[in-house]
C-alpha cells in the first residue's frame, strides 16, 4: 500500500494536507518553506509508531494519514492519532470506510471489544497479531518499511556507522549484499554518470570493513572515505536502489536534499535513475530538493510545491490545481521556471480576485 494523504500538526507548525501523494513525489519550495521539515514530519510519525522515542523532535503532535492499494482500487485505510506530551489522547483506524478503532483519552474500542491500552502507547503498537488484527499488522508493516536517507549528509562517517533514524545499512553492508549482477548494474550506472569505475569491493582495515573503489586508468585504489562527496553520495544511493529490488519489506523511501552537490549532467541522470527505479519497483518515493537540474527532469505532475505562511505549510499540486498546471504547460517554460518564477503567485492572486 502507499501513503496518499498526510496531515501533521505540532505546536507552532502545521503541514496541511500533503495530498494526493503518488508512487513518486518531489517536494519543492523556496528556502525555509518546510521541505526538510516535511520529511522530518513523516519520520516523526514513523519514529513514534516504532517506539523510537529518542528520535522524536516533539512529543506533542497530531497526524492523519490515508492509504490506498495500487492493486485493489476498492481498498483504502485511514489512520490518525493525537499525542500530548507523550500521552495518546486520540486514535482512529478505518478500512474501506468502516471504523475499526476509536480511542479517546478515557476509552478505547476495537470493533466491538473494549480495550484498555497504556496511556503512552498506541493500540496499533500493542495489538500485533496477523490473524486477530490483520488491518493493524498491515499498517505496522508499512511503518516498519519506511526508510530515510539524507543525501547531503552521506559522508564517510555516516556510511561506516549509520546513526540517523532508518538509515538502512552502512556502505560496506550494502555492497556485500549485492549479487555479481547487481554490482555490475551499479558500475554501469556509475559510468553513465561519468564515474569511470571498474571495480567495487570490500576490505577489512583495522577491524573496520570499508568499500574499495578502482577507477579505470588510475593505478591506485581508493577507499570510500577518500571519495569526493558527490561520488560517495551517488554510489551509496545507487547501491541501495539495488537492495530495494530484493527487499520487498521496504514501503517508502524518504530522501532529503536529493541531488545536492552534483553537477548538471550527473544530477539529471541520477534523478531519472532514482525516480524510474522506484516507480518500476513499486517503492513509494518522497524526495525533497531545490536543485534546478533535478526539477527539470521530474515531471511536474509528480511535484508537491510547498508554500508557507507563518507556521502553516500548504501544498500546490496537479490534483488540487489542475488548471494552473495545464496553463503552465502551455507557456513552454522549463519545470524550474514553474518553481522559481512568480507564475504560481500570480495565478493564485487572479483566482482569488475572480472568486472575491
**Along the 356 residues of the chain, how does pLDDT read in single tens digits?**
999 999 999 999 999 999 999 999 999 988 889 999 999 999 889 989 988 876 677 789 999 999 999 999 999 999 999 999 989 999 999 999 999 999 998 899 999 899 999 999 999 999 999 999 999 999 999 999 898 888 887 876 655 554 444 555 788 888 998 999 999 999 999 999 989 999 999 998 878 888 999 998 888 899 988 888 889 989 988 998 888 777 778 899 999 988 887 888 788 888 888 999 898 888 999 999 888 888 888 999 999 999 899 999 999 999 988 988 888 888 888 888 887 777 877 777 787 777 76
314, β-bridge pairs: 307
Helices (H) then strands (E): counts for the chain: 12, 17
pLDDT at 190: 92
Q: Name the pTM for this structure.
A: 0.90
Write down the residue that cell numbers 494552473 correspond to. 324
**Cell numbers placing 15:** 503541514
pLDDT at 163: 44
pLDDT at 159: 53
Sign of CA dihedral 33, 39, 42, 48: negative
Burial of residue 12 (CB within 10 Å: 0-12, 13-18, 19+) is exposed
CA 184 to chain centre: 27
Burial of residue 323 (CB within 10 Å: 0-12, 13-18, 19+) is exposed
**Cell numbers placing 312:** 502553516
Pairing label, strands 87-95, 24-28:
unpaired
210 neighbors 221 (Cβ within 8 angstroms)? no
Amino acid at each position: 500500500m502507499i501513503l496518499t494523504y498526510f496531515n501533521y500538526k505540532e505546536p507552532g507548525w502545521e503541514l496541511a494536507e500533503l495530498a494526493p501523494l503518488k508512487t513518486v513525489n518531489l517536494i519543492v519550495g523556496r528556502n525555509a518553506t518546510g521541505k526538510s521539515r516535511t520529511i522530518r514530519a513523516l519520520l516523526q510519525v514513523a519514529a513514534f509508531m516504532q517506539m523510537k522515542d529518542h528520535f522524536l523532535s516533539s512529543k506533542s503532535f497530531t497526524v492523519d494519514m490515508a492509504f490506498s492499494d495500487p492493486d485493489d482500487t476498492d481498498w483504502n485505510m485511514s489512520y490518525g492519532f493525537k499525542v500530548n506530551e507523550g500521552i495518546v489522547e486520540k486514535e482512529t483506524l478505518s478500512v474501506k470506510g468502516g471504523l475499526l478503532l476509536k480511542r479517546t483519552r478515557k476509552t478505547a474500542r476495537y470493533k466491538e471489544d473494549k480495550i484498555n491500552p497504556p496511556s503512552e502507547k498506541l493500540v496499533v503498537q500493542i495489538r500485533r497479531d496477523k490473524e486477530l488484527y490483520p488491518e493493524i499488522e498491515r499498517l505496522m508493516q508499512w511503518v516498519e518499511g519506511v526508510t530515510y536517507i539524507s543525501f547531503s549528509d552521506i559522508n564517510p562517517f555516516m556510511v561506516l556507522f549509520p546513526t540517523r533514524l532508518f538509515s538502512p545499512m552502512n556502505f560496506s553492508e550494502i555492497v556485500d549484499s549485492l549479487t555479481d549482477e547487481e554490482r555490475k548494474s551499479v558500475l554501469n550506472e556509475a559510468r553513465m554518470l561519468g564515474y569511470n569505475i571498474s571495480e567495487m569491493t570490500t576490505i577489512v582495515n583495522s577491524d573496520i570493513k570499508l568499500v574499495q573503489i578502482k577507477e579505470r586508468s588510475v593505478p591506485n585504489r581508493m577507499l570510500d572515505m577518500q571519495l569526493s562527496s558527490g561520488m560517495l553520495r551517488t554510489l551509496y544511493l545507487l547501491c541501495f536502489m539495488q537492495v530495494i529490488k530484493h527487499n520487498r519489506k521496504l514501503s517508502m523511501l524518504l530522501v532529503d536534499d536529493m541531488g545536492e552537490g552534483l553537477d548538471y549532467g550527473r544530477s539529471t541522470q541520477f534523478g531519472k535513475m532514482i525516480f524510474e527505479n522506484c516507480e518500476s519497483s513499486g517503492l513509494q518515493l518522497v524526495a525533497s530538493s531545490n536543485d534546478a537540474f533535478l526539477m527539470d527532469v521530474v515531471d511536474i505532475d509528480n511535484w508537491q510545491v510547498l508554500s508557507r505562511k507563518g507556521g502553516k505549510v500548504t501544498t500546490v499540486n496537479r490534483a488540487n490545481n489542475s488548471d494552473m498546471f495545464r496553463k503552465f504547460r502551455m507557456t513552454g517554460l522549463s519545470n524550474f521556471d514553474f518553481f522559481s518564477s512568480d507564475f504560481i503567485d500570480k495565478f493564485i492572486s487572479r483566482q482569488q480576485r475572480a472568486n472575491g
